[in-house]
Amino acid sequence: HIDATVAEIDRCYPVRYEIVGNIGRTLTFMLKHKVTEPSIKRRRRLKEVEELKKAFEEQFYPEDESEALKPSDVVEALNEVLSDDTIVSVDVGEHKIWMSRCLILRKQRRYLVSNGLAAMGFSLPAAIAAKTVFNDKPVLCTIGDGGFTMSFGELETVRRLKLAFPILIFDNDMLGQIYTKQRITYGERTIGVSFKNPDFMKVAEAFDLEGVTVTERGELKEVLKEAFASDKTTLIDVKVDKEETLRVIEKLGATRPVY
Domain annotation covers residue 49: no
Task: Provide the 3-class DSSP secondary structure of residue 82.
Answer: coil
Global confidence as pTM: 0.79
Q: Are residues 181 and 107 in the same domain?
A: yes
d(CA 128, CA 258): 29
Domain annotation covers residue 56: no
Say whether pLDDT at 151 is over 90: yes
pLDDT, tens only, 19-65: 899 989 998 888 888 766 667 788 888 899 989 888 877 777 766 66
Q: Are residues 104 and 19 in the same domain?
A: no
Contact assessment for residue 107 and residue 131, using Cβ atoms and an 8 Å cutoff = no
Domain annotation covers residue 3: yes
CB environment 140-152: b (16+ within 10 A), e (fewer): bbbbbbbbbbbbb
Q: How large is the angle between the packed helices 176-186 and 94-102, nearest 10 degrees? A: 100
pLDDT, residue 68, reads 78
Domain annotation covers residue 101: yes
pLDDT, residue 153, reads 97
- Boundaries of domain holding 8: 1-34
Q: Are residues 84 and 178 in the same domain?
A: yes
Domain annotation covers residue 190: yes
pLDDT, tens only, 125-136: 999 999 999 999
Q: Are residues 75 and 157 in the same domain?
A: yes
Domains contained in the chain, number: 2
Domain annotation covers residue 72: yes
Q: Are residues 176 and 243 in the same domain?
A: yes
pLDDT, residue 165, reads 98
Q: Are residues 83 and 30 in the same domain?
A: no
Strand partners, 211: 235
Q: Are residues 84 and 133 in the same domain?
A: yes
Q: Are residues 229 and 113 in the same domain?
A: yes
pLDDT, tens only, 240-258: 998 888 887 777 665 554 4
